[in-house]
Each structure stands twice: as C-alpha cells, then as structure tokens.
A = this chain, B = another copy of it.
Amino acid sequence: MCELLAMSANTPTDLCFSFTGLTRRGGVTGPHKDGWGVAFYEGKGVRAFHDADASARSRIAEVVQTHPIKSEVAVCHIRQANVGDICLANTHPFIRELWGRYWVFAHNGQLRRFRCPEGFYEPVGDTDSEALFCDLLNHLRRHCHRDSPRDEVLAWLVRLSAAYASEGVFNLLLSNGDWLFSYCSTKMTSITRRAPFGPARLKDADLTVDFAAETTPDDVVSIIATEPLTTDETWDPYQPGEWRLWRKGEVIRSGQGPVRPD
C-alpha cells in the first residue's frame, strides 16, 4: 500500500516537518520505497516533485525537507507498489488541468479490476490510481461545469468516492488549489494546529519543532495523513466512509455518506 499526506493552511506554510517524517517511512521506518511525490500550490500554479527512488534516500526529497516551500495546499504520497511498475509515470500525485485549474490527486488503496472507460482524460502510466483520477475528472467534466456550485461538485466527489470504495480500498486526497477533498475508505487521520501553538515530536525521526516560534497567532494549519506523524499530539481519525472538505486549514464540510444541504 502507500501513505498519504496533505496540508491545508490559511497562510503560506512549509511542509518540511511533516514531509521529513513521512519520507522516513519510504525505506527507513516504513516499506514505502517505490517512489514518492509532492505537489505544492502557489496561487494557481503547482510546483511538483516526483521521484521513482525511495524517499528516505532521495537527493531531491532532501531538498524538499530542508528548503521551505510555502503553500496553502500541498499533497504528498509515498508508494509501495502493488498495481503498476516502479517508474516515474506511476508516481503520485497525478496532475491534470480542468476548467483552467490544476487538479492534484493522490490515492492509497487498490481497485485491481478498475479500467477507465474512454474519455477526455487518459492515464499515462498503468496504475489503477491514475485510471481512477481520469475517470473521476471525466465524470466531473460530464456532469458539472466551471461555475457549478461547490456543493454540486462535492456531491459528485462523495458519490464517486463511495462507488470506488465499494469495489476496493479508496483513500483519497484531491485538490483544485482552492479546497482539498479527503475521503477515508479504511485509514486516514488529521490534526489542526492553531494558537496557542506548542511543540511536536516526529514519530519517525528524532526531530522536534516548536510551532510557536514558526507561526503567528492567526495561523491555522491542518495536516491530513494515513497515520499520525507525531507522538505527542492528539490526532482526529476519520471513520470508514467519512469525508472532509478542507479550506484554509478548516473543515468546511464533512460527513459520512451523501452530502446533505448545508
């Protein structure tokens, strides 16, 4: 399987601390050594890094760990291959443009038998994950439009995620740069950090950070991950079937099952 990590923040924030913890699981404290990738939104632009090597030993991952790249939305993935070869084309997150925005997708799980029906978007690699992403965007393009209310798009995301999850394991992170949608099929957790900020210690590396020294009192920064990344904070696990829509560090919609009117 794989591990997921995302950030939603109300001010441009770097991901160095969490990324350092996660990438240790790519070959040192965990078995997810078949590639890694991360995408940082900067306005409508996306800065992405992908590598088919183990994140714990990657020179490029080292730069991302130590060079603060500030973003309000970031999506990250470390891979333990099941479907598809170990190669760059199969490395998450996947990115496509829809309605003049870049959409970023990372998936943990497996739908072995899934094949993407023909449509506008096509997978480049041969993972079930990229095929699911293309299928999802093809549905959005068919059923929604650029000015669709957010709740209409959200309802499709929840409906599609539940359908995929009924056929396999489908833990999802998806962003269009404005909001971040997360769906838990089996395992996902989150933490929201806000004032008063305190210290935190990574589970996978001998590293502690004092968030009070790195933030302002108005900052709200949330981390979503497959498993907690720190040992001394209380994470908020998702239930199977639960989805949360994040924006600027806060959950703005959530539920289990279909979207209900706000």
Contacts and interface: CB of A to CB of B under 8 A. Distances in A.
Interface string A108-128: 000000000000111111000
Pick from A47, A52, A90, A101 the residue with the most CB of B within 10 Å. A47
A42 B87 contact: yes
Interface residues of A, number: 33
A42 B88 contact: yes
Contact of A48 (B48, B89, B97): B48
Interface string A12-55: 00000000000000000000000000000011111111111000
Contacts of A46: 88
Contacts of A124: 44-45, 97, 100-102
B122 A120 contact: no
A57 interface: no
Nearest to A177: B124
Copies per complex? Answer: 2
Interface in A75-95: 87-91, 95
Contacts of A67: 59-60
Contacts of A100: 122-124
Contact of A88 (B45, B49, B121): B45
18 contacts: A42-B87, A42-B88, A42-B89, A43-B89, A44-B89, A44-B124, A45-B52, A45-B87, A45-B90, A45-B91, A45-B124, A45-B125, A59-B67, A60-B67, A96-B97, A97-B121, A100-B123, A120-B120
Given A46-B88, A120-B120, 14 more contacts: A42-B52, A45-B87, A45-B89, A47-B50, A47-B51, A48-B48, A49-B49, A59-B67, A96-B97, A97-B121, A97-B122, A97-B124, A100-B122, A100-B123
Interface of A: 42-52, 59-60, 63, 67, 87-91, 95-97, 99-102, 120-125
